[in-house]
Amino acid sequence: MRIELDRPRCEGHGLCEEAAPSLMHLDDEGELVIDRADVGESEAALAHAAVRVCPVAALRIA
């Protein structure tokens, strides 16, 4: 599975990072960086949690 970010929609709330710090982080400028977009079975739950908490629905699983 792959995590996709709708970049223009992302406002940098960072809730996704709190849910899945091993997959994404906000950089020093407050821009979201997806460190690993392709995730395996073992991290599927984390990826779904990150997608779920984004308050503006900027993340999705493709």
Partner 1 sequence: MWRRSRSLEGMTHPPTSDLDLFSDEVLTDPYPSYADLRALGPVVHLPANEVYALTRYDAIRAALGGWETFSSAHGVGFNPTVNEALMGTSLASDPPQHTALRAALTENLSPRALRGLKSQIDAKADALVADLVASGSFEAIDALARALPLEIVADLVGFTGEVRGRMLAWGKAANQVIGPLNQRTAESFPIAGELYQWCSTVSKADLAEGSIGRGIFEAEERGAIPPGAAGPIIHQYLAAGVENTVSAIGNIVALFASHPDQLALVRKDPSLVPAAFNEVLRFWAPINAWGRETTRDVEIEGVVIPAGARVAILFGSGNRDPLHYDDPDTFRVERNPVDHLSLGYGVHGCAGQGLARLEAHAVIDALARRVERLVVGTPTRIPHNVTRSVHALPVLEVVTA
Does position 11 bind partner 1 by CB under 8 A?
Answer: yes
- Residue type at 61? I
Two structure tokens written together for 29: 């400028």
Q: Which of residues 21-60 bind ligand SF4 (CB under 6 A)?
A: 32, 54, 56, 58-59
Does position 10 bind ligand SF4 by CB under 6 A?
Answer: yes
User: Distances from the Cα of 3 to the Cαs of 12, 24, 43, 50, 53, in angstroms?
Assistant: 16, 10, 11, 9, 14
Smaller CB distance to ligand SF4: residue 4 or 44? 4
Q: Interface residues with ligand SF4 (CB under 6 A)? A: 5, 10-16, 32, 54, 56, 58-59
